[in-house]
Structure 1
Amino acid sequence: MSSEVTIYDFDLNLASGEILSLSSLKGKIILIVNTASNCSFNQQLVQLQALHEKYSDKLVIIGVPCNQFVSQELLPNEKLVSVYLKEFGVTFPLLERSIINGKKEIPLYKYLKSQKKSLLGFKGIKWNFEKFLVDQTGKVIKRYSTYVVPNTIEKDLVNII
């Protein structure tokens, strides 16, 4: 048995107070996105929700609210779910507000960044709405910059479904 860490080894704290064990998502495609409700890119939440609805039997989108980029996510955990639903129609899982860069970053992001560096080799997350695509076997297969909108990711989803 291998002792190598996989995506399925992580248990995540949801904003709702529940725990999401990624091991429960084996066999599904996972798209992990750091989000911020006050970011100028926040309309990507609407596109992410559309993908969530269209591929809900094969795809799980996980939003990771983060306030590390010029304080664009000020919502407390207890309001994240209701505001994201009201403002953007989001029903996919949202983690509690998380740190994704630096010494206090959540272990999931340390893992994701070790698996896929950015296009220019940058290890850290540069801005809100960077995305990681994980295939059905748990392999991190792509990393997308903030500027890659969710609608354009659909072709990659179709290729691995």
Structure 2
Amino acid sequence: MPKGEGKVVAQNKKAYHDYFIEETYEAGIVLQGTEIKSIRAGKCNLKDSYARIHNGEMYLYSFHISPYEQGNRYNHDPLRTRKLLLHRKQINTLIGETKEAGYALVPLKVYLKNGFAKVLIGLAKGKKKYDKREDLKKKEAKREIERVFREKQKM
């Protein structure tokens, strides 16, 4: 099964706009109590979240998982720091890569795979303003070509 397959629960579309994604890694998430129920219900948000390596372990910061409605006192803090599960070799390569200037670890999407919640982490390099404008121009040109092609097919 290729990386990123399964029921996609949340996506970080802004990451593709703000960064060049060089490599992706699939990581498991350490969850507490009712968090998996909220994720299965689709009540999570990747906006403004990021990953960081601390003491040889990877953590996901500001990943919002809404409290589960039927969870009462067993609910969790929505923005707590969550540990990500990766192989030691992968973490070591990421430590080396992120020491280079301009590289960041960005969560791209959260999905369910075989009943487990997974996060697709991207090794990303920040885009400059002119890169973003260039991407927008390419998208616009592609849309225009598709529009003209559809009009010709109608005739």
Q: Which has the higher helix share?
A: 2
Question: Given the two structures, how large is their TM-score scaled by the length of structure 2?
Answer: 0.24
Question: Given the two structures, how large is their TM-score scaled by the length of structure 1?
Answer: 0.23
Q: Which has the higher strand share?
A: 2
Highest RCO, 1 vs 2 (Cα 8 Å, sep ≥ 6): 2
